[in-house]
Structure 1
Amino acid sequence: MKAAAALAALLSVSPTVRLSAQDTSRIAEAASVLGPLIESYGVSGMEAPVRETVKRLLPAWAKPETDTAGNLWLRVGQGEPLIVFVAHLDEIGFTVDSILDDGSLHLRTRGGFFSSLFEAQPALVHTTTGDVSGIFLPREPSRDSSPARRTPPPLRVSVGATTRAATQALGVAVGSTITMPKRFVRLAGSRATGRAMDDRVGDAAQILAVRHLDPTKLKHQVIFVWSTREEIGLEGAAAVAAALGTSPKRVHAIDTFVSADSPLELQNFAVAPIGRGPVARALDNSAVTPPAYLDSLRAVARARGIALQFGTTNGGNDGSTFTPYGVVDVALGWPLRYSHSPAEVVDLKDVASLGDLVQAIAEIW
């Protein structure tokens, strides 16, 4: 607590700057970074296209490295304490479990979501030779008079072929990943929609922070990680945590704050309105941030004039894989409507402000 109080006192004398996300140029930059990330495809375990997009969007001085788990690392600065930021590259989707005699594809989910949101929608099968278009087939309703079955059958995809051989001739194989076509779309004002905002906003925030950092002025080492396979068990982050062990002082996992800020949801849990700034994930299903660290985080945000919300939400975060090594997890997020759906909604002011917050933490905490 003394450390938190000392940090708050130190930062209270720093000049407060105008919230940079209010500047239209900052919103435009956030959109220019987030758009290409949203429109890159990368189901858990197949994140290479997203990783390449991240590398392309980083500044020229950045020299990231890829580890054996597919995680992208960027080390900046020198000295202690070591601080780690981590945002995941992967998105929810499917893999081909088997190819049926009629040429259709039997699917297995990658990540947790409502499969019904994909039913009777366009599909994209990602193969080693390119993308193959298809549709998610509607599932047949129960044909008897008994109550509707509680567990619907797995989804299937048709690529238009009518035999297994014809489907295989298109390059489709067991293990191919499947998603839905997606676009990054600007809405009125500073809002935007698209699929896979989770966690491309976190990826974008780290890129924005790196772009505006002066690496020569950092007082300690910071490692930015874009991790793999978060949606299927935090696997990429676990590899990073094992590699670093007890070295980091803090880890800041950056991931969605699944907000109740939507017209149909009860306002008694996960209340963090979109457009009012990033969120300190004080409590989720995987980690609890110590109150003293929340106080320090508030002081950092206040010193830079960044609006900061606090809340509790469902879900886990990559930082929880570091806590067995004694590393404190101070998770960050942004409010997101309609998480894990084809039409997630964010406010670009929150995206820009989250980038500002990551930069501030790296520079002054």
Structure 2
Amino acid sequence: MNIDRLKELCLIPGISSREEKIREKIIQNLNPRKYYVDKIGNLVIRKGTGNKKILLMAHMDEIGFLITSIKENGNLILRKVGGIPDEIIQSRYIEIVTNEKIIQGVIGAVPPHLKKDNVSFELVGNVGLNTKEDVLNIGINIMDYAVFKKNFINIGNYISCRALDDRFGCFVLEEVYKNSSPKNEVIFAWTVQEEIGLKGAKALSNELSEIDLAIAIDSFACCSRQNQHIKPGDGPVIRFADNSGISSFYYSKKIVELAKKNNIPIQLGTTGGGTDGSIFVDKGTPFVALSVAVKFLHSTVEMIHINDLENLIKLLKIISEEEL
């Protein structure tokens, strides 16, 4: 398992609707003979033949900010894209992504010395310039975007980085695509705009027909009162219920049986949020959400256990090669 490849994917910026850099890297990494990119940016590659069609999905987009205006004093007015908790925003380094380059910046904070004067926090970025004209002259424009500056580190048996949600899923799909010999027809899809309402999956569900099973590879937030039994390092998680849908009982049981047969640890849990897979139920397609437990989800220090990542790759490889 090439952790450097996962690092590479995590460090690429790409908020919802701006996934082009991640998509280009995945195509470069896999160099597939045939693939297509649909009108909104979903990347689709097919592999194998068989009686059943299995769709494996992971989303490319991450949470971040759109630049919606530039103030006369040079500050960038930012709009949140995706579910960013307010408490993680202040006092952060950011990267502003323009058409030509990446520019370093910050989101500031109100010093305690000024709070007594009722100075309040404003969600703006600062790139060290004091006029709108200077900001425009370095190439920053409205509709550019920003992401939190990322640091990819190993902590014991864990990996920590912003955007592990869902770049770990993108990485897992790459590994399964490269190392499996499917007995089914497996459709690998790297989707867009998941963080703002599963938009890419909705488009994909209209494009793909006669799918027998849709599997979404995405994060599992741990650990709340409803899922305290989920332990990072104890195996992948079947996310059998969340706010968007309920995984197929039939296929969940099948996957548990396959995991046990192949000595792969697996866990079952419920959480909030939603995954791309749930969209396919409206089209008459059963789905299963497969995850790994993520500590501090939607923060700048997301963490996953390396063993869970390895076991998820093994499990998906087996699923693609079995007659479900």
Asked whether the 8 Å contact 2:226–2:270 carries over to 1, the reply is no
C-alpha separation in 2, matches of 1:65 and 1:340: 30
Residue 253 of structure 1 aligns with an amino acid whose one-letter code is A
Mean CA deviation greater in 342-351 or 64-73: 64-73
Residue 129 of structure 1 aligns with an amino acid whose one-letter code is E
Identify the match of residue 226 of structure 1 among 190, 194, 197: 190
C-alpha separation in 2, matches of 1:62 and 1:331: 28
C-alpha separation in 1, matches of 2:32 and 2:74: 48
Q: Deviations over 1:262-321 (max 9, x none)?
A: xxxx54435411111110011011010232222111111122221111000111000111
Q: Which runs of 5+ in 2 are unaligned?
A: none
Q: Deviations over 1:100-143 (max 9, x none)?
A: 11010111001002133131121111001101111102147765
Percent of counterpart pairs with the same letter?
Answer: 31
| Residue 92 of structure 2: aligned partner | 121
Asked whether the 8 Å contact 2:70–2:76 carries over to 1, the reply is yes
Verify: 1:34 aligned to 2:6, yes or no: yes
C-alpha separation in 1, matches of 2:20 and 2:318: 29
Identify the match of residue 285 of structure 1 among 243, 258, 265: 243
Asked whether the 8 Å contact 1:44–1:228 carries over to 2, the reply is yes
Q: Which runs of 5+ in 1 are unaligned?
A: 1-28, 261-265
Secondary structure at the counterpart of residue 101 of structure 1: coil
Q: CA deviation at 1:234?
A: 0.8
| Residue 26 of structure 1: aligned partner | none
Asked whether the 8 Å contact 1:108–1:154 carries over to 2, the reply is no
Secondary structure at the counterpart of residue 207 of structure 2: helix
Identify the match of residue 348 of structure 1 among 293, 306, 315: 306
| Residue 216 of structure 2: aligned partner | 253
Asked whether the 8 Å contact 1:31–1:348 carries over to 2, the reply is no
Secondary structure at the counterpart of residue 222 of structure 1: strand
C-alpha separation in 1, matches of 2:38 and 2:171: 20
Q: CA deviation at 1:154?
A: 4.8
Identify the match of residue 162 of structure 1 among 124, 130, 137: 130
Identify the match of residue 77 of structure 1 among 48, 52, 74: 48
1:38-117 alignment, distance < 5 Å: 38-58=10-30, 60=31, 63-117=34-88
Asked whether the 8 Å contact 1:62–1:74 carries over to 2, the reply is no
Asked whether the 8 Å contact 1:94–1:110 carries over to 2, the reply is yes
1:261-280 alignment, distance < 5 Å: 267-269=225-227, 271-280=229-238
| Residue 358 of structure 1: aligned partner | 316
C-alpha separation in 1, matches of 2:226 and 2:87: 26
Q: Deviations over 1:145-201 (max 9, x none)?
A: 9xx9xxx8651101111111111111111111101211321122x211111010011
Residue 34 of structure 1 aligns with an amino acid whose one-letter code is L
Query: By percentage of residues, which structure has more strand?
Result: 2
CA distance 1:268–1:249, change in 2 (3 Å): closer
| Residue 291 of structure 2: aligned partner | 333
Identify the match of residue 208 of structure 1 among 163, 175, 194: 175
Q: CA deviation at 1:144?
A: 7.0
Asked whether the 8 Å contact 2:220–2:291 carries over to 1, the reply is yes
Residue 259 of structure 1 aligns with an amino acid whose one-letter code is C
| Residue 197 of structure 1: aligned partner | 164
C-alpha separation in 2, matches of 1:30 and 1:115: 34
